[in-house]
Amino acid sequence: MLRYIGKRLLIAIPTLIIVSIFVFSLQKLLPGDPILVMAGEDRDPQVIEYLREKYRLNDPVVYQYFYWVSDVLRGDFGISLRTNQPVLTLIKQKLPVTIQLALMSMIFAFAIGIPAGILSAVKKGTLTDYIANIVALSGLSIPNFWLGIMLILFVSVRLRWLPASGYESPFVDPLRSFQTMLMPSFVLGTAISAALMRHTRSAMLGVLQADFIRTARAKGLSEWVVILKHTFRNALIPIVTLSALIFGELLAGAVLTEQIFTIPGFGKLIVDAVFNRDYAVVQGMVLCTAVGFILMNLVADMLYVLLNPRLRGQS
């Protein structure tokens, strides 16, 4: 197992290096000279030279990259041009909000996606399967920002049941926090539940054809014990590999969902940074997301080996 983890970590290193080169290169895509913008309208040559020295822009690009990487490794992602705060501090402030949104969305996604996937596989070829598939396809095709807008229109504007926007910390007012997060997490959870349903269905269908399921049925076990204890437990293994995909979906979905419901989280931070031309923040966030994604992939790989006894021996 340790050897396997070591091998996976070794493979992740070149990926991380390429990610860092990519994120560093982003600033080089910027049209025009950013120092001229920073120097203000006067464009005093002395100020320009000072800024060039300060940001080490007089050095060759390769040196600039290594300076940047060594800063990042020490936790210095740069300073936000807008708030003057370190980028890492900003990310740390906003991340808990998005984590709350993500956790609530996961509850919706699992509560809808997994039962629907199981039901669809067990009732394959029936009306239930057909309806579940249509719902899943619709979930994958509906733009979640539109779903959010429609929910605001009907639930908040027309029925006035839930607040249309805003955020409250669960440590300050738990009920208000739950109310403000209910619609956004449903919107985000819907898209993930559709993917989850499709994967659960296909994994369940694969296991249902296995010999040990026939044996379990032949032993006279009840159908639900066969489905939940024998089939679903084994179908869970390929579903685990989805965790990295879900992580990506949650972060990308959070960008739009937080924008619609005005939630001050990670997603809104990146959009605000884009419009304020706060490039250090954009770079820092892309790098954090990529590192998080690579780590999630590692965790998913390890869980896959841990859950599958046949792979445990090999690794």
Interacting residues toward another protein by CB under 8 A: 14-16, 18-19, 22, 26-27, 29-31, 137-138, 140-143, 145-147, 149-150, 152-153, 157, 248-249, 251-253, 255-256, 259-260, 270-271, 273-275, 279, 282-283, 285-286, 289-291, 293-294, 297
Minimum Å gap between C-beta 279 and another protein is 7
Q: Could you identify the residue written with the tokens 């982003």?
A: 26
Residue 221 neighbours by CB distance under 10 Å: 15
Q: Which positions ≥6 away from 208 have C-beta within 8 Å?
A: 121, 122, 231
Q: Locate 109 and state its tokens.
A: 């996604």
Find the angle CA(82)-CA(88)-CA(89) to the nearest 5 degrees.
Answer: 70
Minimum Å gap between C-beta 28 and another protein is 9
Minimum Å gap between C-beta 134 and another protein is 9
Buried b (16+ CB within 10 A) or exposed e, 53-92: eeeeeeeeeeebbeebeeebeeeebbbbbebeebbeebbe
Nearer to another protein, 104 or 260 (CB): 260
Q: What is the dihedral of CA 272, 275, 256, 17, to 10 degrees?
A: -80
Nearer to another protein, 26 or 103 (CB): 26
Q: Which positions ≥6 away from 124 have C-beta within 8 Å?
A: 205
Nearer to another protein, 120 or 216 (CB): 120
Minimum Å gap between C-beta 200 and another protein is 17
Minimum Å gap between C-beta 129 and another protein is 13
Minimum Å gap between C-beta 41 and another protein is 22
Minimum Å gap between C-beta 285 and another protein is 8
From CA 198, how far away is CA 192, in angstroms rounded? 10
Query: HSE of 240 in the Cβ direction (CA atoms, 13 Å)?
Result: 17
Of the candidates 178, 124, 114, 185, the residue with the CA atom closest to the CA atom of residue 151: 185
Nearer to another protein, 47 or 129 (CB): 129
Nearer to another protein, 50 or 161 (CB): 161
What are the distances in angstroms from CA 314 to CA 170, 238, 272, 310? 45, 18, 48, 7
Nearer to another protein, 35 or 47 (CB): 35
Nearer to another protein, 81 or 252 (CB): 252
Q: State the DSSP code for 221.
A: -
